[in-house]
Structure 1
């Protein structure tokens, strides 16, 4: 049986069908496959989610700053008990460039329907309440979220950003990367030669070629341009267990527009 890879390298989902399982992508300090290093702080809502390991913190996932005191990320990133912190204004994980803000997490809200043993059910989304609010400036800004229910057309231009692996099992990179991943519409992505029934209509597929997300990118944004502004339409969720950039197995994201109501209820 083939496997998916969750961006969080937690567990694998075994499907009844002969198709690769999704794999979470936050297991290790790994990064976007293909693409290029982003211009520093050009995705100013991108955050690094880190957990305490001994006396230091280690990057494990991405996320998006959606209010000064709130971050949106993937449920599989935070469904374990750890001491978390969020770094905003980050670019190079290995150096302090003076733009970073380090914020502790006071509470984690995982979607109540999330089940780590059934990734294909969806609901891979969580909110983090910060202990203090981020200061907004040229390097730190809030993400724009889409209107509830909005679905993008096939081939709509989007970018993934994150600190994940640069290739399947490949080398790590400390700098934030970005890769162009056009949307693959649900009809195509859920067809038999693509992801099939693994992909639900509460998910967004993007890419499916040489560029993709990979371990360490989980929870980060799918940034899609509409009317000269970028909106975060997806939360990075899983890739194919055969490899991060498997052909016709595009990176799969939680569709943000399907969860606007849930997020508003928690943050209000």
Structure 2
């Protein structure tokens, strides 16, 4: 796991490693519940082979943004060697092979050029070029993305999905978790008793009610919101508070996808 050095006392990355060999030890969204099967079709499990021994670890979530590309958080990239990663799309139960999954090697890693390892500076976004395309088997879908610069209003309800901690130091479900989570507008999230100056306009804050939040293992996953008549991915899970994940006035912070549209499309078109 990569940790933010300058803000280590108040921030930790929402990205945990868990042993994986299709059966995975991992953790989930706090305050969530089992997702309905075949619902969040753009959700990805990003997995890492730390010892190059064909045993993969679920380290982060991700989003299908094109048949050859996955979007995730830059801090999820533990090595720039693409051979150490694979993605699983169509995943639901990490302990069980359901026949819906596609296991795809990563061919190339593209980290945003503005990422410097400091979460407070933002740019926590990366794209993974796959060795083989995602194919439509009925269990996957390419995510809709927001229009450039789009910002959601305060209190707008979105959904966080992932296999992250369900409580601080808590249990390890096998099923994809989902929870409703309300957007906290920048003018609130950037107040001193919230996230202050490290909450940038290129980020989306959501939660902060002390009940629902992302947590370790959710990093890189989508913030899905029903806007413009369709489900749209507005955020990439980036960071949360140290200690307890679900702290009042310390919402989960996402990279704002609408702030990076030009970069995303430049990569996809290349």
Q: TM-score range by the shorter chain?
A: over 0.9
Partner in structure 1 of residue 20 of structure 2: none
8 Å CA contact 1:20, 1:242 repeated in 2 = no
Equivalent of 1:32 in 29, 32, 36: 29
8 Å CA contact 2:213, 2:245 repeated in 1 = yes
Partner in structure 2 of residue 11 of structure 1: 3
**Distance in 2 (alpha carbons) for counterparts of 1:73 and 1:154:** 24
Partner in structure 2 of residue 205 of structure 1: 205
**Distance in 1 (alpha carbons) for counterparts of 2:109 and 2:16:** 19
Gap runs ≥5 in structure 1: 1-8
| TM-score normalised by structure 2 residue count | 0.92
Q: How far 1:154 moved relative to its partner?
A: 0.3
Q: How far 1:111 moved relative to its partner?
A: 0.5
8 Å CA contact 2:189, 2:205 repeated in 1 = yes
| TM-score normalised by structure 1 residue count | 0.92
Q: Does 1:243 align with 2:244?
A: yes
Q: How far 1:147 moved relative to its partner?
A: 0.5
Gap runs ≥5 in structure 2: 18-25
Residue 181 of structure 1: SS of its match in structure 2? strand
Partner in structure 1 of residue 98 of structure 2: 97
Partner in structure 1 of residue 195 of structure 2: 195
8 Å CA contact 1:79, 1:110 repeated in 2 = no
Q: Does 1:41 align with 2:38?
A: yes
**Distance in 1 (alpha carbons) for counterparts of 2:257 and 2:228:** 18
Partner in structure 2 of residue 6 of structure 1: none
Q: Does 1:65 align with 2:57?
A: no
Partner in structure 1 of residue 129 of structure 2: 129
Paired residue total:
256
**Distance in 1 (alpha carbons) for counterparts of 2:158 and 2:35:** 14
